[in-house]
Amino acid sequence: MTTTDEKGHTGEIETPSVPADWLNLTSDNIGEGSPVDMGALLKANVAEHTERQLITGRVVAITPTDILIDVGLKSEGVVPREEFTNGRGEVIVQPGDVVEVFLERMEDANGHVVLSKSKATKMKAWEEVEHAYKEGRPIKGVILDRVKGGLAVDVGVRAFLPGSLVDLQPVRNLRALKGQEVEMKVIKVNRKRGNIVLSRKACLEEKVSVQKERILEAAKAGMPLKGVVKNLTNFGAFVDLGGIDGLLHVTDMSWKRINHPSEMFQVGDEVEVLILNFDEENGKLQLGFKQKDPSPWKNVTDRYPIGSKVRGKVISLTNYGAFVELEPGIEGMIHVSEMSWTKKVKHPSAVLNVGDLVEVIILDIDSDAQRISLGLKQAEPNPWDIITETYREGDHVRGKVRNITDFGIFVEVLDGVDGLVHISDLSWKRVNHPSEILKKGDEVEAVITNIDAVNQRLSLSIKALQPDIWEKFFQTHYVGDVVPGAVTKIVDFGAFVDLGDGVEGLVHISELSDKHISNCAEVVDVGQTYPFKVIRLEPGDKRIGLSLKEGQRRERQHREREEEVSRPAPTDESRTSLGDVVDFRGFQKTEEEEQ
């Protein structure tokens, strides 16, 4: 069959793929018992139609350009094919389908009834919007695009959603909502002007009000609520409970330690949570997930008595300690100060690694704060106990030089225990730096001079193995003696003098010369040897006071006497006077004392 549309296009009508008896249906041969209930359709067919109204018809044929629909008039109605085509270009009806269309004209120039599917859809949409407005119920729509002042929304017809009514809180990026299907309420409608105003905020407020009551009831009863994970952050997850967002903090996700919420949840996951706290006034909702299971901290002191030794796995390291998992959900911390008896641990990584299995001692438990203090060093014998039990002051020990510092050397006496030989205890001689006499790795012998187990300090002395040169000096020298000495160091207030065998004395600047001097270098040079008179001896403090001017004066006197003795005797006298003899003997005695 050939047909022509109102635009003059011709085409072959497809043979309807419907039962043949449908084509001959009339009000006389269709009843309630017919296989197809067409009662309402037939009534519409025989009723008197008027233009510009919605009517029901049946698709009878599909042409390349049009859809032919029988609406009960003397000729079929014509609808452009594209009005029944989806986005992929496919026709969405077939012969026999009952459709609702808009009657534009009873007859066009070609005698066809002019129908419109799109206008029917819009009319239905307007009716739906008006009904929703009157009944106060929400409708769904798809956000089309950002427009001035808000958003354009498709609800079957174009509508306007003001930006201030998009959400409960101001939305900065309205374009991000494009393409989303949302539920809104109609707050204003005017068909004549084609004006529809929507409010998503009103719909959300209603949902929130209902949801608040549901949340309060669940909080009182301790019942879980279902929600959807909306967003993940470093500190937790935000869960949508049907219009109200709650925060599920990372510490409330599991009794076990987790580093990031993504280890347990992903955006879009449906979760069941408990209401921990609901601040209705400020709109803050705190959620819990781990609380659905019994706390492993219950009766924890019974399972882990203080002082007991347990095994655990190192799960994380911080600057101040290491966290050890004793069982799922139960963790303890080893502080850096509890990691070694002998070493000062600056960072746990120097002793432990994540994943290590360790034996620790339970030091303390705070069940309320869910904290357990652990000790690593306490699981091993304290080497300082061995030191105090094995050694006494005065004992000789041998060990290797483990470290050299400006103030002394550290000698390993026992595995993990070092003793300090202070620079002053290295030698009876003056030592400027320990590296002058020892190097790292040297094996030395020393004497224990002090054991302080409380502060973990062991003092040693190497010079104590040698005779005390100071004691020998004080036993063989007296105030008034003149001794030779080499200047080793010049300071503002005087000069230090080496008197031999490491014994050192001090000559004050006032004892350098009878003249007033401001700089010791005016009188003495480092490395030069001079005669010094001993003017002060302090054995207890190992101090020796010297005088250069007195020593030089004594030396001059000595030379003068020697010169006097070496002079020839007077020729006019053959005998020596008694005074000369006494004076000579006195000189001899002084010379012997000096020697």
SS3 53: strand
Q: How far apart are CA 444 and CA 462, in angstroms?
A: 8
pLDDT in tens, 218-251: 777 778 888 899 999 999 999 988 777 889 999 8
- Average pLDDT score over residue span 248-276: 89
Q: How far apart are CA 208 and CA 169, in angstroms?
A: 13
Q: Encoding tokens for residue 337?
A: 């100060």
Question: How far, in Å, are 473, 474, 480, 536, 547 from residue 477 at the CA level?
Answer: 6, 5, 9, 11, 15
Residue closest to 325 by CA, chosen among 379, 271, 258, 267: 258
pTM over 0.95: no
Strand 284-288 relative to strand 270-279, pairing: antiparallel
Q: Which domains are delineated in the chain?
A: 2-122 (2.40.50.140), 224-292 (2.40.50.140), 300-379 (2.40.50.140), 383-465 (2.40.50.140), 469-561 (2.40.50.140)
Q: How far apart are CA 196 and CA 186, in angstroms?
A: 7
Residue 470 sits at the vertex; the CA angle it makes with 465 and 472, to the nearest 5 degrees, is 90
- Average pLDDT score over residue span 487-493: 91
Contact 427, 463 (CB under 8 A): yes
Beta bridge partners of 3: 11
pLDDT at 259 (0 to 100): 84
* 95 Cα distance to chain centroid: 67
| CA end-to-end distance (rounded Å), the chain | 154
Q: Encoding tokens for residue 147?
A: 């427009």
Q: How far apart are CA 88 and CA 456, in angstroms?
A: 85
Residue 572 sits at the vertex; the CA angle it makes with 567 and 577, to the nearest 5 degrees, is 65
Q: How far apart are CA 227 and CA 218, in angstroms?
A: 13
How many Å is the maximal CA-CA distance in the chain? 194
Beta strands in 169-235 (DSSP E): 181-190, 195-199, 225-232
pLDDT in tens, 122-147: 888 888 899 999 998 999 999 999 99
Q: Tokens 């929304």 — which residue?
A: 153
- Average pLDDT score over residue span 489-498: 92
Residue 458 phi/psi, 5-degree rounding, is -125, 120
Residue 182 phi/psi, 5-degree rounding, is -130, 160
Q: How far apart are CA 398 and CA 407, in angstroms?
A: 20
pLDDT in tens, 163-173: 999 887 888 88
Task: Write down the mean pLDDT value for the chain.
Answer: 82
Residue 377 neighbours by CB under 8 Å, 6+ apart: 338, 339, 340, 341
pLDDT in tens, 307-364: 999 999 999 999 999 999 999 889 999 999 999 887 888 999 999 999 999 999 999 9
